């Protein structure tokens, strides 16, 4: 059974084995990727050959070194084509109960006025106590993976949290993630599921702290490196990209996000990155505690920036 899909109007997890209407809604929300996933039932989506090839090039001694911290956290936000949602995304950062130490926006040559909006939000709305805000602008469109790498490369913090520019963080996401890393010093990556929503009304009506949702406080589901050898589907390791947080040293050792789809373990840059980390270190997933709101009605790049 696939992990639950969180819907704010349902008050809890709704199993994805839904009726025809729900399948149609999911197909509209997730696009072609869902259809492709259903068509590939017969064969594995995770390439074990590519995982082995990746592991062969890793310095295992360096991977075995103990982690430092984490004492600091950076949020990195790749920005492309979502000008209408930037103010809400920005609000979710400045309202964190524990402010991030850094916030880095990477504007990926967006066709709208994202760069100007971000600059205005930073200048006019950033609380100086809520973290160091910076805006990087790509001269050409690089895509999400390369934009993330650029932002992470300048981060000085011990761990990095990703936030998509059209999504929204729970207000306790930073505090809860740092607490989880403190309780699980062996983990290289911690993620959770998100609440799927469409429209600003649904977001405004939803509670913004994770402790009010079913499953809050339950232990993380820990996936070890040995588990990766048994993965067949992309969602055998399943977390929402927004709110996922990893040690910067792990990002560096695995080579960061992979912009070239031909070289990935799986087609999606976020899951490819997470799988490569999991092949080396244990990762934890809060399967029933959401850390973010994931907007389902705003995809603009048709996979070009993924």
Q: What is the CATH number of the domain that holds 73?
A: 3.90.550.10
Number of structural domains (the chain) is 1
Domain presence at residue 304:
no
If you average pLDDT over residues 134-150, what whole number do you get? 96
Question: In this structure, what DSSP letter does residue 236 have?
Answer: G
- pLDDT at residue 272 tops 60: yes
CA distances from 35 to 1, 67, 136, 299, 303 (A): 18, 40, 35, 16, 14
Helix (H, G, I), strand (E, B) or coil at 248: helix
- Strand ranges of the sheet holding 194-197, from the earlier edge strand across to the other edge: 12-14, 5-7, 194-197, 292-295, 168-169
Domain presence at residue 78:
yes
pLDDT given for residue 90 in this prediction: 96
If you average pLDDT over residues 233-249, what whole number do you get? 96
Tokens of 231: 């993965």
Tokens of 2: 């696939």
Confidence of residue 297 (pLDDT cuts 50, 70, 90): confident
Confidence of residue 99 (pLDDT cuts 50, 70, 90): very high
Helix (H, G, I), strand (E, B) or coil at 169: strand
- pLDDT at residue 194 tops 90: yes
Q: How many residues does the chain have?
A: 306
Domain presence at residue 306:
no
Q: Over 171-190, what HEC string results? A: CCHHHHHHHHHHHCCCCCEE
Domain presence at residue 156:
yes
pLDDT given for residue 130 in this prediction: 63
Residue % of the chain over a pLDDT of 70: 82
Q: Torsions phi, psi of 106, nearest 5?
A: -120, 105
pLDDT given for residue 28 in this prediction: 44
Helix (H) or strand (E) holding 250: helix 248-254
Domain that holds residue 44: 5-295
C-alpha gyration radius of the chain: 18
Domain presence at residue 273:
yes
Domain presence at residue 54:
yes
Q: Over 135-160, what HEC string results? A: EEECCCCCCHHHHHHHHHHHCCCCEE
CA distances from 18 to 22, 26, 261 (A): 5, 10, 31
If you average pLDDT over residues 249-278, what whole number do you get? 96
Domain presence at residue 181:
yes
- pLDDT at residue 212 tops 90: no
Sign of the C-alpha dihedral computed for residues 225, 226, 232 and 237 taken in this order = negative
pLDDT given for residue 6 in this prediction: 42
150-164, 210-224, 260-274, range with the lowest pLDDT: 210-224
pLDDT given for residue 68 in this prediction: 81
If you average pLDDT over residues 43-58, what whole number do you get? 92
pLDDT given for residue 15 in this prediction: 31
Domain presence at residue 88:
yes
- One DSSP character per residue, 57-126 reads TS-HHHHTSPP-----EEEEEEESS-GGGHHHHHHHHHT-SS--SEEEEEE---SSSHHHHHHHHHHHH-
CA–CA dist 285, 106 (Å, integer): 26
């Amino acid at each position: 059974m696939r992990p639950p899909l969180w819907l704010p109007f349902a008050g809890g997890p709704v199993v994805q084995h839904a009726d025809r209407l729900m399948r149609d809604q999911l197909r509209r929300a997730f696009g072609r990727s869902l259809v492709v996933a259903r068509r590939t039932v017969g064969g594995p989506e995770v390439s074990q050959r590519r995982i082995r090839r990746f592991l062969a090039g890793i310095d295992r001694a360096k991977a075995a070194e103990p982690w430092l911290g984490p004492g600091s956290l950076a949020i990195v936000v790749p920005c492309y084509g979502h000008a209408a949602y930037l103010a809400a995304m920005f609000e979710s950062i400045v309202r964190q109960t524990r402010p991030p130490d850094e916030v880095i926006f990477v504007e990926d040559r967006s066709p709208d006025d994202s760069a100007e909006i971000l600059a205005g939000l930073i200048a006019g709305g950033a609380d100086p106590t809520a973290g160091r805000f910076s805006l990087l602008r790509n001269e050409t469109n690089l895509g999400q993976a390369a934009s993330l790498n650029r932002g992470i490369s300048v981060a000085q913090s011990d761990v990095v949290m990703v936030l998509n520019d059209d999504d929204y963080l729970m207000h306790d996401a930073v505090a809860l993630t740092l607490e989880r890393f403190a309780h699980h010093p062996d983990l290289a990556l911690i993620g959770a599921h998100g609440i799927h929503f469409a429209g600003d009304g649904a977001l405004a009506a939803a509670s913004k702290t994770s402790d009010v949702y079913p499953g809050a406080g339950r232990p993380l589901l820990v996936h070890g490196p040995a588990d990766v050898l048994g993965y067949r589907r992309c969602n055998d390791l399943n977390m929402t990209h927004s709110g996922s947080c990893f040690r910067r040293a792990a990002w560096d050792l695995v080579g960061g996000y992979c912009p070239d789809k031909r070289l990935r373990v799986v087609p999606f840059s976020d899951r490819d990155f997470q799988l490569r980390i999991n092949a080396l270190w244990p990762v934890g997933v809060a399967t029933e505690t959401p850390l973010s709101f994931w907007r389902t009605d705003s995809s603009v790049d048709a996979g070009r920036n993924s």
